[in-house]
Structure 1
């Protein structure tokens, strides 16, 4: 166990509040996969609603607004039919330096294990509901791409996404986190693998960066991990670290040797951490977690 103290705020559970209930109270019904950003005195939260397999899976992505970070009012919603998708996964909401609003949507190709990422862009959060999708991370026959996390700084746009191998159906749940850069947040260049599973550990089957915190040339991330295919959808949360390269891009990440964070309710899923600085300067975290009946709810707590 490491003695290093992370500066990335992590869930403590006891202080958490449910901000979005799942659409039903059964395993496979989820609200979660949150992505949060603060702007114009509000917190905007994008999240996914899901039903069990056979009942619809990821049915929609919602964008909601809140003044206090706890009580949210939906302002836009896009359904899987809009993308011709079998399911939607984690969205990423971003406000560009020019003031545009973007929603990066993870869409599943019907009848396959393939995923791609489409982009919606509008002048307002409400306008995202009617924006025309365009594919920005297509994946290919060998890999599906989803769940992007974005960061913008003086060096341009940075993105970390989970990538799934598609050579064999039974192995398509495996995942690494791959890193890309872009001058505009639309056209991306893959720069290499950022984080890989560690054999024999709690994250041996797959790893997915969920939140990024940059401090100068240092980067600290939260990530989701699982040890087996059976833990798919019930990942737990760990921490990894890395550094910026001389060209402004970020190098590979190294996982901390620490026990993962999970829900107290079996099978203990706690994933998709998102961190936001509130308009008053305080911090708040959002995440998806397993509750007692096996459904997942979207929770928040002070950072």
Structure 2
């Protein structure tokens, strides 16, 4: 049970439960990249399943429901073939103010390093399995866009997505996070860089915001960071606070090292943390963590109200 001095909850692994194991053992086999929400007293979770390079990569996104936040019933499975994608990555699951279900899906363009984001919308979470799709973040010849974090409040939609420059074919793992706004969650306007890598630091190669938490009087973000290309897929979790000039949705990294990492694996990967607020001031965390055999599994843990700070 840990709270960062900023007030944002952090995973510690001591009381974590496995929500989804990897599809198989060994490196490149993953379950994770979660996005969660509470609706009518239940927890809904979207996550990605992946096999190694040459065996299918990110082959499906799953939407599931749980009464306790740990044991889930699968409601919908979305496979990469429906988008003509080579691989899928982190989804974002939201319910609109009108009660519609939306699933934003990260899709890889076959034979390239390009990524784009597709949107499915339905009346129910089960309906997402065969809902029609529309491209909402196409990326470009110069930039790949993926791993969205999407929120809707105050009559405005907010999005944070990782952006990868494609100018150097040998360095497309580099990433920053950009912030965008929208009146409807469909048409997005980029507002600038939300979080940038820090030269010479543990997050110098890339940063990817994984969750943005509203703590009442301020926002705090958790992000995935890596120092080198060799740490791709084994990012660790850092904390970011709002920039001093007050630009909404923009953050700066806090501290000189990661705030959370895997206790089980040499690569120490612990990434894609999603913070889900619970009634009474508690939190439930979902995250992807590297196991000792190199595979990744999806875990959860709770942080009770009034947990002590680090």
TM-score bracket for the superposition, by shorter chain length:
over 0.9
Any residues of structure 2 matched to 1:4-83 within 5 Å, and which?
5-83=5-83
Does 2:142 correspond to 1:142? yes
Rounded Cα–Cα distance in structure 2 between residues aligned with 1:239 and 1:277: 17
| Aligned partner of 1:254 among 249, 252, 255 | 252
Describe the SS at the equivalent of 1:87.
strand
Q: CA deviation at 1:278?
A: 3.7
Q: Are the counterparts in 1 of residues 202 and 256 from structure 2 also a CA contact under 8 Å?
A: no
- Secondary structure of the equivalent of 1:86? strand
1:119 matched to 2:119? yes
Query: In the alignment, which residue of structure 1 is the partner of 2:207?
Result: 207
Change (3 A) 1:214 1:130: same
- How many angstroms does 1:157 deviate by? 0.5
Shift of 1:277: 2.6
Matched residues in 1 for 2:231 and 2:48: separation?
A: 20
TM-score (structure 1 length as normaliser): 0.95
CA deviation vs aligned residue, 1:245-294 (integer Å, no higher than 9, x gap) = 88xx7152111014211101111100000111346764210000000111
Instruction: In structure 2, list runs of 5 or more residues that go unmatched.
Output: 304-310
1:34-84, Cα deviation, whole Å (9 max, x unpaired): 000000111001000000000000000000100000001110010000110
Output the CA distance in 2 between the equivalents of 1:295 and 1:127: 31
Instruction: Show the counterpart of 1:263.
Output: 262
Structure 2 CA distance for partners of 1:244 and 1:148, relative to 1, 3 Å:
farther
Q: Tell me, what secondary structure is at the counterpart of 2:62? A: strand
1:164–1:173 Cα contact (<8 Å) kept = yes
* Contact 1:39-1:279 within 8 A present in 2 as well: no
After superposition, the Cα gap between the structure-2 partners of 1:285 and 1:296, relative to the gap in structure 1 and judged at 3 Å, is same
Contact 1:203 1:227 in 2 (8 A): yes
Quote the Cα distance in structure 2 between the aligned partners of 1:228 and 1:150.
27
Q: What is the TM-score normalised by the length of structure 2?
A: 0.93
- What is the RMSD computed on CA atoms of the aligned residues? 1.7
Equivalent position SS for 2:85: coil
Q: Segments of 4+ in structure 1 off by > 4 A?
A: 243-246
Aligned length: 299
8 Å contact kept, 1:219–1:243: no
Aligned-pair CA distance for 1:298? 0.2
Aligned pairs for 1:157-196 within 5 A:
157-196=157-196
1:280/1:125 CA distance change after superposition, 3 Å: farther
Correspondence list, 1:271-290, <5 A: 271-278=271-278, 282-290=282-290
